[in-house]
Structure 1
Amino acid sequence: MTEPSREQHRQAVRQLHAEGTSRNAIARSIRRSAATVSKIAREEGLTFSGGAQVAAATEARRADVAAQREQLVPRQATFALS
């Protein structure tokens, strides 16, 4: 079985991107890394907007972790003094 050519990968990235497929899904589909798909997309002038979809969830997670960290500090101080 022969390896698909670079041009075949480029065509697949262009087609899947046009269909709204995510970068990671394209990578799985063409059996290449997400970084390779990003590189091809950049060279083709394509962008992925998925980052905007997860930005709110990422910020919520950061706030949650910060709150958990604040709760741990007094407990660690109490534990250290015991």
Structure 2
Amino acid sequence: MSNLPGNPHAESWKDESDGQWGMTQATLALAYEQRLATLATLFNIPDDSAIQGVDYAEAARQLSEGLGMRAEK
């Protein structure tokens, strides 16, 4: 499985002998990456179609962090 660099669940499922634990971690890894894909989709809509109530600055921060691109302050 290919994974994004910031995914905290991506590698933890490989070394577990307990199949249920491994399945849980693999599911969490996929959910994490789906969430990032959804955040990225927010920025692919036209400016006049912005979703009311969405904090785009926070979404951008979470997306950047999730992709392993932590901003220096």
State the TM-score bracket (shorter-chain normalisation).
0.3 to 0.5
TM-score by length of 1: 0.32
Structure with bigger RCO (C-alpha 8 Å, 6+ apart): 2
Q: Which has the larger radius of gyration?
A: 1
TM-score (normalizing by structure 2): 0.36
